[in-house]
Structure 1
Amino acid sequence: MGISFGGLATGMDTTSLVSSLMEIERKPIERMTLDMTYQSNRLAALTEFNGKLTSLLSKVEALDSSDELRPMTAKLSTEGFLTAKADTTAVAGNYQIKSHALAQVEKVVSTDALAWADKDAKQFKTGTLSLSVDGVEKAAITIDDSNNSLTGIMQAINAANTGDDPSGVSATIINDGDEYRLVLTGATVNDKNISLDASGLSGGSGTYANPTLGAPVQNALKAHIEVDGIHIYSDTNTFSEAVPGTTLTLSKADGGSESTTLTVGLDEGGLKKKVQDFVSAYNAAISFVTSQSAYGDNSSGVLGSDSGLNMIKRRLQGLLVNPVNGSGSIQTLAELGFETQKDGTVKLNDSKLSKALSENPSSVEKLLAGEKDLDGKETVKGIAGQFRDYLDDITDSVDGFYVGRKNSIDSTIRKLDASIERVEARLEAREKTLIDQFTALEQLVSSLNSQSDYLGQQMDMLSNIWSSKK
């Protein structure tokens, strides 16, 4: 609000005076604003911490089942013929593979005598064009004055290869260097003996000889491999059951003249990475809590007074050292190479972990994923499962640790915001009152000054009169 007086009557700097008084009056707002900033900083820190807990949960979930703990790898002695990808059901072992033939579909081209100079000229007869595969009619295609060109026939054949009952044949047009020719291609290796009966094209005034197909330029052929002397065929270049739990995809064939060795085994490097990812996520959560506490010359963070953080830290540290009490020979993470440091973080002993994975992988699996009976019922909860259950609870989106704290902080911020609005409204009224009061004071002093000047003038006049009579 602008102030329209400057203390001309009183001699006081009333504008500065009102400003100073309002500055004192605004002290509560400054404190509430600082409180809002503090609460916002707490919320940001809690959000960061919740992100670390969520990340830890995702790393734990990568270790809480037998399937997760059996990453398999497939390696080939010769590259270029095929690729191999093993899943968790793959059986470790060596396999000799030969690539005999790639899958290919039948391809038929119009005869050499039938080639056309203009693919868009509407010069064919009209009527019905019959498309058959292996002697069975797949589509009766209508050719009329709107599509009796080579392009129109191609489009009509392709239209018949869509919908609920596709023909299984697609059409293209090629240029052999001089003229255009029609090419029909089967969709799968089972689409064989493709034929086109143009005898039904008898109407209209078209002059082009009706499309007739020659012998296949490419025969339909199943993919063919040989695994340990067993010949296996597929409609595609992908074999999903030739080697248990491993998908093979052919990219080259040599008629089976060269043998490739496929080695399937446990991906120890992949499993070690999962364990290291868990350690890294655990350390990130523990280090964050430690950073919020006051120690040495360091002051506490914005969450230093929140006892909930230290409770979570203690719980995570407790889970880390809990024995599983299962049937495996490895009962604790310490036996797997987990070494606790002075600051509460963990260092992974790589050689110890490697030894456990190579010598006793089943015990490692039981330690992390737990054990189940023949009916699939859990009998021993693994360490990863224990971490998962606890982290699921505290990161729950409805009643987890973060949500509870966030709701409380949001409520506090809303109350502070409402309080600031009320105080702002009160201060606006207070400033107006002060301005009105000082304005009235200025007017009063100005009036008194005017009266004083008038009385002074009267006294001077009386003094002059008395002086003249003497």
Structure 2
Amino acid sequence: MAGMSVDGLASGLDTTSLINALIKAEGAPQTALQTRLSATEAAAAGYRSLNTKFDALRAAAETVLKPATWSSAKATSTAAGVAVALGVAPQPGSLTFSVESVAASHSVVSNGTAWTNTKDPAGFTELTVYQADNVTPAVDADGKPKVISVGGTGTLADAVSAINASNYGLSATAVQVAPGKYQLQVTATSSGAETKFGLGSAFTEITTGTDAALKVGTTASAYTVTSPTNTFEGLMPGATITVNKAEKGVPVTVNVASDPGAVADKVQALVDAANAALASIKVATNPTGGPAATLKGDSSLGRLAGQVLGAVSYGVGTHGSPAAAGLELARNGGSIEFDREKFLTALADDPALVQSLFVGTPTGPGPDKVADTADDGAPGAVQRLMDLAQLATDTTTGTLTTLAKSRDSQADDIQDSIDAWDRRLELRRATLTRQFTAMETALSSMQQQSNWLAGQLSSLPTSS
């Protein structure tokens, strides 16, 4: 009956519009709840957006705090065939050498072309692996000779499979050297002089296992550095050198130099992240802002912005202000500035001081061993930003996290109230519809009776 139209049945009134108007008037509290729900959901989204900004700040601060950041370096090589990769804490330095040889894997091939296809009989039921002299049997970890049983039906394919499955560091393949002509090639799975092996007189060496070799120096005191692979780790602290081409006697210089610019780049990324977080707070809390100002009047965000600025402006123990190394508040007081040139100059003059200003020194009593004195350790500006960002974004107890969750809970409660109003108004609409229908029905009945009476009256005889 709630959807039944009773418009003008007898009264000529637009009862549907009347019912809608009454429902709208009675549903004013629900409309207010819907407006409140939209604002609450927008606030939750606003807190999550800020949480993302502060998590980016945390990540940027974490990067700056890493020891590897402060030992940033860049490497160069004078030869295209020599590459240098830097690891943790590379040390600046230079090394000149020549690449005398590159690493190779030992390889042998069967004599002649004994097979026409891989299904031919291998011609042997087992293979003995020998040492480099091809005479002395090689032994496994248990001291037993390395012997490979072909198995299967004894075909060339079975021999290949057996060698590959032997766990003796060998890789086999049947090579078709001409149509209908196959030879068996066996190669060590690793490179270096120690990989040399033999398979008896039926096989011939085609590649000798060799180490990569670098010759350092040109005088009688020159020395050679070898590696079973083309990679040299630890030759220069924190650097890995890889060679791929031998050029005897051709000097190659590898240089590892500190890269203060890389440190400055990471600090700039931190400042950008901090300013992005501050700008987002300003937009979200602007009392005269438009739709983007979803968190107007939130004093906790104002305090959070102040803490970000304070982390940069406050001095660091006895080391002074971060401004001495180019990190300071902007003149407008609402953002952070980074003077790259000032930072690079300070880093060159006193890297330990700059690192103390940014990273800090271990907290607790200083050299005088007395707590709460001037020489006590203190967190640096970046460490303070890191701590602040972590407190704001912790997935369980973070300030922004809990604020967002609180708004989510409020939104759920408001939605429950809206749903209750939906049910209440639906019942009210049904009641009004029944009442207006009854009214129209009663009016119709009265009109019918009136019309009947009028007809009866008009049929009475009139006096002459």
* Paired letter, 2:206: V
- What is the CA–CA distance in structure 2 between the aligned matches of 1:392 and 1:185, rounded to whole Å? 54
> Match for 1:358 among 328, 348, 356?
348
SS of residue matched to 2:315: coil
Q: Which runs of 5+ in 1 are unaligned?
A: 161-165, 198-211
Name the counterpart of 1:284: 276
| Aligned counterpart for 1:448 among listed residues 431, 446, 460 | 446
Distance 1:27 1:295 in 2: 27
Q: 1:65 to 1:6 in 2, by over 3 A?
A: closer
Give the direction of change, closer, same or farther, for the CA distance of 1:293–1:143 in structure 2 (3 Å limit).
closer
Structure 2 residue aligned with 1:434:
432
Change over 3 Å in CA distance of 1:290–1:297 after alignment to 2: closer
- 1:191 equivalent to 2:202? Answer no
> In 2, Cα distance between the equivalents of 1:20 and 1:379?
71
Distance 2:160 2:26 in 1: 86
Q: Aligned to 2:386, which of 370, 380, 388?
A: 388
Cα separation, 1, equivalents of 2:216 and 2:86 = 16
Q: TM-score, normalised by structure 2?
A: 0.87
SS of equivalent to 2:199: strand
| Map 1:261-340 → 2, pairs under 5 A | 261-294=253-286, 301-326=293-318, 331-339=320-328, 340=330
- How far apart, in 2, do the equivalents of 1:89 and 1:168 lie? 35
Tell me the residue number matched to 1:204. none
In structure 2, how many angstroms separate the alpha carbons of the residues matched to 1:16 and 1:278?
61
In the alignment, which of 135, 143, 147 is matched to residue 150 of structure 2? 143
Q: Say yes or no: does 1:157 pair with 2:157.
A: no
Is 1:349 the counterpart of 2:339? The answer is: yes
Q: 1:73 to 1:334 in 2, by over 3 A?
A: same
Q: Which amino acid aligns with 2:27?
A: R
Contact kept? 2:284, 2:292, Cα under 8 Å: yes
* 1:283–1:172 distance in 2 versus 1, CA, 3 Å: same
Shift of 1:65: 4.2
CA contact (8 A) 1:66 1:369 kept: no
Q: Distance in 1 between matches of 2:149 and 2:288?
A: 89
TM-score w.r.t. the length of structure 1 is 0.86
Distance 1:132 1:420 in 2: 85
In the alignment, the residues of structure 2 paired with residue 258 and residue 429 of structure 1 have an alpha-carbon distance, to the nearest angstrom, of: 95
1:122 touches 1:147 (CA, 8 Å); kept in 2? no
SS of alignment partner, residue 171 of structure 1 = strand
State the AA in 1 paired with 2:232.
F
Deviation at 1:309, TM superposition (A): 0.9
| Residue identity matched to 1:22 | I
Unaligned runs of 5+ in 2: 141-145, 368-375
> Helix, strand or coil for the counterpart of 1:231?
strand
1:456 positional shift: 1.6
C-alpha distance in 1, partners of 2:429/2:449? 30
Secondary structure of 1:353's counterpart equals: helix
1:96 aligns with 2:99: no
Asked if the contact 1:6–1:13 (Cα under 8 Å) also holds between the matched residues in 2, the reply is: yes
* Root mean square deviation, CA, Å: 2.5
Letter in 2 for 1:335: A
Question: What is the identity, as a one-letter code, of the residue corresponding to 1:91?
Answer: Q
CA deviation after TM superposition for structure 1 residue 341, in Å: 3.5
Give 1:132 deviation, angstroms. Answer: 4.0
Local SS of the residue matching 2:64? coil
Indicate the residue corresponding to 2:33 in structure 1. 32
1:87 maps to amino acid: G
